[in-house]
Chains A and B, each alone.
Chain A
Amino acid sequence: MNITLRMAWRNLWRHKRRTWLTVGAMIFSNLLLVFMISLQFGSYRMMIDNTLQSYIGHMQIQREGYNDNPKIRNSINAIIPLANDVRKKINSNRVAARGVAFAMASSEQRSFGLQIVGVEPEFEVNVSSLPGLINKGKYFSHINAKEIIIGSILARNLRVSVGDELTLLGGGRDGSFAAGVVFVTGIFDSGIASVDRSMAQLPMGYFQSLFGMGSHGHSIVVNAKDLTRVSVLQNKLTDIIKNNNKLVVLNWEILQPGLKQAIQADMASAWFMYAVLIVLVAFSVLNTQLMSVLERTREFGTMMALGAKPSRLGRLVITETFMMSTIGLLVGAALGYVLTYYLTIVGFSYPGMEEMAARFNLPDRMYPSISLLSIFLGPGIVFVFSLLASLYPALRLFFLQPVSAMKAV
């Protein structure tokens, strides 16, 4: 063992209580950071997944300008062949074409203005969770069926159930008057009130003929295997559509800017809190190391008189901090891991969370998501700032005069 290491280690335990208190501050902060960051990662992931999977998807191919101005005329020509082409080129079935229109839906007793979405029954199941959430009736029989599926609250409000008729009245793409009668074939219950209250889907073929769309549609939803692969796939798609300069590929961050921004806002406030914790730990380390340097002034003076260079003493002080920080890092990360792991199994909840969760499409209990990053990010930063905090005490040694130092009390 290197002599500096050994000296540093022994120096640390000359003041057991002080060392443990300093390490304790690190462990406390690290434990908290691991827990908070894992919880954050977990809830963001769930928030994104739950919000995107019901409808929006990871990416959409749209006509340029449609996202800002979703008018029925801003459509893509020959959308189904294009969707087929995309499917072939990226070799994935998580691709589905859609059309969107507004119509007044009337049952015998009620009428509501609704956004009506035309979908490809065969592929919609791969990009959206709604088809799987049908708890009454079934999904569309074929792409030209005069059938509609609606949310559970909407069904209740329209006073309809499976097999009933709905009349749709609206404006077609060509400015014509769109009117048609469809049968409710399925009712889904997603648990998200806004979706269950307002979502209605028609099969794409019938949608196109009802709303005078011809072969047009409004978007092609493309999902990646998971969120981390979105950008790669987006590049691929951009490449595929580059011959058609009227089309764009938009990812979820643009399709649903609120989601990303809510996460950013939450991140900002969370990092403010983390920063405060980290600064407080740094103060603690600064205090401890400064004290430990000051009380050893005579000792350091003697060592310098014996030929030790200030840089060596500085290294010694930094090594001491390094050791403390390492203990803090390892113990904090380990305890944090244990706590967080436990919570990934039993879940985590606090009063008021249920209401909050419902607002952000989260389940009632949160499950942190553990990864190397979530475990080591916080403790890693604490580690770095602890080392930085010990720089001042270490640098002071360079101004030490051996003779006067040896005389210090």
Chain B
Amino acid sequence: MKSYLAVKAILTLAWRNLWRNHRRTLIMLAAITVGVWAMIFMTALMRGMVDDMLVNGIRDLPGEVQIHHPLYRDDPSINNSISMPSKKLLDILQSPEIKAWTARVRVPGVISSERDSRGVTLLGVDPETEVQVSFDKDSIIEGRFLKDSNDTGIVIGARMAERLETRLGKRVVIMSQDPNNNIADRGFRIVGIYKAKMASLEELYVYAAKKTVQKLLNMDNKISEIAITGENYRHVENWYARVKKTVGKKSETLAWYEADVYLGSMLKMMDGFVLVWVIVIFIALSFGLVNTLVMAVFERVREIGLMQALGMRPGMIMYQILMESFLLLVIGLMLGNVLAVISIVPLQDGIDVSGVAEGMEMMGTSSVLYPALELNDMVLANIIVIVLGFLASVLPALRAARYDPVEALGKN
């Protein structure tokens, strides 16, 4: 009961003291608010960018987990093919953690229209599973995606169609190498044209049906890769280990963060960035915070002396100053958080950065930025500000508590 009263008294004192100099308090609050807003806002933007980078990257990798011939990634040739999943692997691929998987033929080739030819990556896909793992059906702007694994059509990117001066319904010739290094070629009718989130991909990938490609390249039922997707790319470890174990050493099984170390490092780097950013902002704030407290103590030296003379313990005085700092921080944090949420919510539909689309592509993100407000980041920012803010206030608070009452009373 007694301690409750003490806390209440300190709280009241601190609160009233804060507003004795409302200008100073308001300026400091504004600074904390801006700081906290910047911490959270910037973090959400960067998170959004990295998320997008990862989602795009993983989709293109392909898949959260991928299985290849051990040599394939360095030498993506038809000779480095693998067999379809074994019975045992199929069992695992049916498990609930795994959302979808698909098998592809993925070999380099040349596409030619009557006007021009280009180097491309030819994908022989199973359309039904491909759309679950990687290909976005909505990206088809003309025609249709492949119907089934025996479809004899081809789907190419919009930019590629432009380059080849061809269009829907026309024929193109695909040339590639079969396992005996004979050049195999075949005409395909363009049945669909897609527009990718990242325009450079439109010139890279052409989609044909798996069985058609296998027949063209004399590769029986061999494939280049198996791509597997789970529910969440952040949590692949559980099922990844099982897949890897079943596949064994004959093929290479990689999770996305191993397959592309740049992407893999992004998550960690992002966490590092958030921490550094929050701390830097905090330090910039802390000068003002300490300054405010030092001033508050300085103005009240006589008052503090008087309170001590009347029997208030130094500890109480310290608590009082700390409470002031705490109140400042808490109000500032609340305002900052609210402001951050208010400013991020209207941006949820995405920020159009297509002015620098090709630059974003270099970084691996698309031209619409979706801020990602994560609870973890908000909590981290708040905790850092409160804890470090408290620590920064200890010194001025201690100084206040150490005044000699007689001397303090005599100060002018």
* B74 and A262 within 8 A (CB): no
Q: Which one, B28, B268, B277, B284, contacts A281 given CB within 8 A?
A: B284
Minimum distance in angstroms from A175 CB to a CB of chain B:
8
- B243-258 vs A, CB cutoff 8 Å, 1 = contact: the mask equals 0000000000000000
Q: Flag the segment in A133-141, A235-243, A353-361, A368-376 that touches B.
A: A353-361
- B158-187 vs A, CB cutoff 8 Å, 1 = contact: the mask equals 000011010000000001110001010000
* B284 and A269 within 8 A (CB): no
Contacting B at CB under 8 A, from A187-233, are: 198
Q: Flag the segment in B95-103, B259-267, B306-314 that touches A.
A: B259-267
- Check A272/B42 contact, CB under 8 A, given A112-B119, A258-B361, A259-B359: yes
* A18 and B356 within 8 A (CB): no
* B363 and A265 within 8 A (CB): yes
Please report whether the interface of chain A is mostly helix, strand, loop or mixed according to DSSP: helix
- Which residues of B lie under 8 Å from residue A21 when comparing CB positions? 287-288, 290-291, 294
* B28 and A287 within 8 A (CB): yes
* B295 and A114 within 8 A (CB): no
Cα distance A291–B21 when bound, in Å?
9
- Say yes or no: is A260 at the interface (Cβ < 8 Å to chain B): yes
Q: Which one, A110, A115, A277, A286, contacts B280 given CB within 8 A?
A: A277
Contacting A at CB under 8 A, from B24-69, are: 24, 27-28, 30-31, 34-35, 38, 42, 45-46
- Check A261/B31 contact, CB under 8 A, given A110-B177, A273-B42: no
Contacting B at CB under 8 A, from A104-149, are: 104, 106, 108-115
- Say yes or no: is A25 at the interface (Cβ < 8 Å to chain B): yes
Minimum distance in angstroms from B116 CB to a CB of chain A:
5
Cα distance A104–B38 when bound, in Å?
53
Q: Which one, A70, A113, A262, A273, contacts B360 given CB within 8 A?
A: A262
* A264 and B265 within 8 A (CB): no
- A275-301 vs B, CB cutoff 8 Å, 1 = contact: the mask equals 011011101101110110011000000
Cα distance A359–B365 when bound, in Å?
13
* B163 and A71 within 8 A (CB): yes
- Say yes or no: is A156 at the interface (Cβ < 8 Å to chain B): yes
- Which residues of B lie under 8 Å from residue A260 when comparing CB positions? 359
- Say yes or no: is A263 at the interface (Cβ < 8 Å to chain B): yes
Minimum distance in angstroms from B371 CB to a CB of chain A:
12
Closest to B71 in A: A157
- Which residues of A lie under 8 Å from residue B358 when comparing CB positions? 257-258, 261-262
- Which residues of B lie under 8 Å from residue A265 when comparing CB positions? 353, 356, 359-360, 363
- Which residues of A lie under 8 Å from residue B262 when comparing CB positions? 355-356, 358-359
Chain A interface residues (CB < 8 Å from chain B): 15, 17-18, 21-22, 24-25, 28-29, 32, 69-72, 102, 104, 106, 108-115, 153, 156-157, 169-171, 198, 257-265, 269, 272-273, 276-277, 279-281, 283-284, 286-288, 290-291, 294-295, 350-356, 358-360
* B284 and A280 within 8 A (CB): yes
* A18 and B294 within 8 A (CB): yes
Q: Which one, B38, B115, B175, contacts A113 given CB within 8 A?
A: B175
- Say yes or no: is B378 at the interface (Cβ < 8 Å to chain A): no
Closest to B270 in A: A352
* A355 and B261 within 8 A (CB): yes
* A294 and B23 within 8 A (CB): yes
- Which residues of A lie under 8 Å from residue B77 when comparing CB positions? 110, 157
A-B contact pairs, 5 of them (CB 8 A): A114-B119, A157-B74, A290-B24, A290-B27, A356-B265
Q: Flag the segment in B105-113, B149-157, B319-327, B381-389 that touches A.
A: B105-113
Most buried by A among B112, B288, B299: B288
Minimum distance in angstroms from B7 CB to a CB of chain A:
28
Minimum distance in angstroms from B55 CB to a CB of chain A:
17
Closest to B267 in A: A352
Q: Which one, B31, B269, B284, B299, contacts A351 given CB within 8 A?
A: B269
Minimum distance in angstroms from A403 CB to a CB of chain B:
22
* A264 and B177 within 8 A (CB): no
* B265 and A284 within 8 A (CB): no
* B24 and A291 within 8 A (CB): yes
Closest to A268 in B: B356
- Which residues of B lie under 8 Å from residue A257 when comparing CB positions? 358-359
* B356 and A352 within 8 A (CB): no
- Say yes or no: is B214 at the interface (Cβ < 8 Å to chain A): no
* A279 and B34 within 8 A (CB): yes
- Which residues of B lie under 8 Å from residue A355 when comparing CB positions? 261-262, 264-265
Closest to B122 in A: A113
- B174-213 vs A, CB cutoff 8 Å, 1 = contact: the mask equals 0111000101000000000000000000000000000000
* A24 and B287 within 8 A (CB): yes
What would 20 more interface pairs be, CB under 8 Å, given A21-B290, A113-B118, A257-B358?
A: A21-B288, A21-B291, A21-B294, A25-B284, A28-B284, A32-B280, A70-B163, A71-B115, A72-B116, A104-B175, A261-B362, A272-B38, A272-B42, A276-B284, A280-B31, A280-B285, A287-B28, A290-B23, A355-B261, A355-B262
Minimum distance in angstroms from A407 CB to a CB of chain B:
17
Q: Which one, A111, A287, A295, contacts B181 given CB within 8 A?
A: A111
Interchain residue pairs A-B with the least CB separation, the first 4: A261-B359, A113-B119, A352-B269, A25-B287
- Check A288/B291 contact, CB under 8 A, given A112-B119, A350-B272: yes
- Which residues of B lie under 8 Å from residue A102 when comparing CB positions? 110, 116-119
- Say yes or no: is B292 at the interface (Cβ < 8 Å to chain A): yes
Minimum distance in angstroms from A28 CB to a CB of chain B:
6
